[in-house]
Amino acid sequence: MKFISLSIAKYRLSLWILAVIITLSSAYYQRRTGPSYPVKGQIKIDQTNVRFKLIRSETVGRDAVVKLIVPLEHVGGFVKYRRYRSNDGWSEIPLRREGDHLIAHLPQQPAAGKLMYYVYLHINGQHVSLSGENPVILRYKDAIPVAVLASHIGCMFIAMLFSNRILLEALDAEGNTRGLLNLTIGFLILGGMILGPIVQKFAFGAYWTGFPLGHDLTDNKTLIALTGWVVAWVKHHQRQQDRFWIFAAAVLMLVVYLIPHSLLGSELDYIQIDP
């Protein structure tokens, strides 16, 4: 059974533009759906729309600041919080007014420590939660050197770009996939298997928490993507339906890439350290 063949490899510039669009779109989707992306929304108070952004990531050594722009001086509120997956009871701190802002500082946590919190505003005699029934989950991480983080992100972006480009190239039987295949694997290894663990070591104190050591989804999805590309590389050199395997590896990487970053990531077990 022959794999599909489209006469598109000659449109090189168009294929690169399409690959860039796919890569940027998937990166945007991953960012917006990730567990560190702030909870955003708006609420109407006395005919005034109040927008809010509740943080879900902070650096160790700094208080996480809940800061709302609420120009209506008669509106106040409080933050209710506790450590995530712990035996703690709920604590409350008031939102302090500073001009048009309502501000509260959540307590610092160690790397991989998490807090869950609600922000309530007093509106028409009621306490209204900005996040509804679901708490906001905030995770702390150690500082990561900018050069290391930028290199990791850059390599992963380039690997994804080459992967999407070779996906399109593999649809044409006359396409040249060899160079793109090697570049994709090379940047994936550098960005995901070398720089990725270094970033995680800086942020959470461990190089690898995926299979077989743990269930970190970021580590596992990188491992799955690389496995797919290794299989494609072997099939390519054996010349066994290599276009199909390259296409399959690229699709697998795209699907894996769309999984929110840091989902099921490093997490401090408060019950174990403070039962």
Which tens digit of pLDDT belongs to each residue from 222-266? 999 999 999 999 998 887 678 899 999 999 999 988 887 665 566
- CA–CA dist 184, 249 (Å, integer): 11
How many residues in the chain?
A: 275
**8 A C-beta contact, residue 111 and residue 204:** yes
Contact 85, 269 (CB under 8 A): yes
Place of tokens 């690997």: 159
Q: How far is CA 193 from CA 42, 68, 198, 246, 271, in A?
A: 40, 39, 9, 20, 31
**Tokens read off for 263:** 């989902």
Domain range list for the chain: 12-33+144-271, 39-141
What pLDDT score was predicted for residue 261?
A: 66
Looking up tokens 């396409």, which residue turns up?
Answer: 175
d(CA 121, CA 71): 13
Average model confidence (pLDDT) for the chain?
90
Note the pLDDT tens digit of each residue in 50-105.
899 999 999 998 889 999 999 998 999 999 999 998 989 999 999 999 999 999 99
pLDDT computed for residue 174 by the predictor: 85
Nearest-angstrom CA–CA distance, 269 and 275:
10
CB contact at 8 A, 226 and 160: no
Identity (one letter) of the amino acid at 23? T
pTM over 0.95: no
Cβ 257 vs Cβ 26: under 8 Å: yes
> How wide is the angle at C-alpha 232 spanned by C-alphas 154 and 8, nearest 5°?
75
The answer to whether the CB of 271 falls within 8 A of the CB of 87 is yes
Using DSSP, state whether 135 is helix, strand or coil.
coil
Q: What is the pLDDT of residue 265?
A: 62
User: What are the residues whose beta carbons fall under 8 Å from the beta carbon of 64, sequence distance 6 or more?
Assistant: 55, 58, 105, 106, 108, 115, 138, 140
- Compute the distance between CA of residue 62 and CA of residue 66 in angstroms, rounded to an integer: 12
Predicted local distance difference test score (pLDDT) of residue 194: 96
**Residue-wise pLDDT tens digits, 184-210:** 999 999 999 999 999 999 988 889 888
User: Which option is the CATH number for 39-141: 3.30.1330.50, 2.30.29.30, 3.40.50.460, 2.60.40.10?
Assistant: 2.60.40.10
